[in-house]
Amino acid sequence: MVDLDGTLVDTLGDFEAALAAMLTAIGRHPLSRAQIERLVGKGSEHLIRSVLALTAPAGAQQDPAAQEALTEQAWRYYQAEYLRINGQCSTAYSGAEAGLKALRAQGLRLACLTNKPIAFARPLLAAKGLEGYFDHVFGGDSFARKKPDPLPLIETCRALRSAPAQTLMVGDSSNDAAAARAAGCPVVLVTYGYNHGEPIRAVDADGFVDRLDALALRAATATPTQ
Ligand SMILES: O=C(O)COP(=O)(O)O
């Protein structure tokens, strides 16, 4: 199973554009890509709440009800804008499509498992010509809990009809690795993704690859995994 943001597609440009529109609409300044990179990977609700906390006017005290109302409003702006620009400011990583194609050619069943809402994930994969490689696509709202909880990985293994120990998670972050460890799945991390702005090689994983097509080459000589 393969993560989406930071693993298959570099989506920072989409996040930057959608967040800038949302922040401007509520009278705040846009964030830089470096700031956004640290916040991506834990789903949209976490992103919106973190962005609102980071851009809150200094010394401002808000009561919880007003804060919830602002979060709701921000989410509505963000969702509409993200759906509008989804895929326009993002690029599939070099080697991503070739890697998926080669893994499929080896007879492996593939799932995309992202914390992105499913309503964002499907159109993005379609826009980048990647949707057809997957037997299943699951988003952050497809199950009751998101990565780093093991539940989405366990459910994805079930959908793939593959035991967790035989099912490889490919991701770009400590979030993906923690979920894989908790689910009992082996995990390989790509070295070019976001990892919440932290160095990727410090993360506990079973391997690292610089390109997805390099992973496919390695899989061709190893035990079958999904
Ligand atoms: O947080 C997101 O929206 C995307 O997260 P992902 O790295 O699981 O694709």
Question: Is 14 annotated to bind ligand?
Answer: no
Q: For domain 12-85, is the CATH number 1.10.150?
A: yes
Could you identify the atom of ligand 1 that is nearest to the CA of residue 193?
7
Cross-strand pairs, 10: 91
Residue spans of alpha helices (H) in 172-226: 174-183, 212-219
**Active site annotation includes 3:** yes
Do domains 12-85 and 91-219 share one topology? The answer is: no
pLDDT for 221 beyond 80:
no
Instruction: Spell out where the chain has E strands.
Output: 9-10, 91-92, 111-113, 136-138, 169-171, 187-190, 207-209
Give the residue, by CA position, lying nearest to ligand 1 atom 3: 116
Q: What is the DSSP letter of 30?
A: P
Helices and strands in the chain: count of H runs, count of E runs: 9, 7
pLDDT at residue 225 above 50?
Answer: no
Rounded CA gap, 20 and 2, in Å? 28
The confidence score (pLDDT) of residue 220 equals 66
How does pLDDT run across 149-191, given as a tens digit for each residue?
Answer: 999 999 999 999 999 999 999 999 999 999 999 999 999 999 9
Class of domain 91-219: alpha beta
Give me ligand 1 centre to Cα 5, in Å: 5
What number does the ligand 1 atom closest to the CA of 115 have? 8
Among 49, 29, 44, 115, smallest CA distance to 80 is for 44
Known binding residue 172? Answer is yes
* Nearest residue to 225 via CA among 156, 175, 131, 179: 156
Long-range CB contacts for residues 46-51, cutoff 8 Å, separation at least 24: 47/15, 47/19, 48/22, 48/74, 48/75, 48/78, 51/19, 51/22, 51/23
**Per-residue b or e along 133-143, where b marks 16 or more CB atoms closer than 10 Å to that residue's CB:** bbeebbbbbbb
Query: What amino acid is encoded at 15 in this protein?
Result: F
Where in the chain are the domains?
12-85, 91-219
pTM for the predicted model, two decimal places: 0.94
Token pair 């593959």 is at which residue?
A: 162
Q: Which residues line ligand 1 (CB under 6 A)?
A: 3-6, 40-44, 114-116, 147
Over 50: is that where the pLDDT of 57 sits? yes
Q: Compute, in angstroms, the gap from residue 34 CA to the centroid of ligand 1.
A: 16
How high is the ipTM of this complex?
0.94
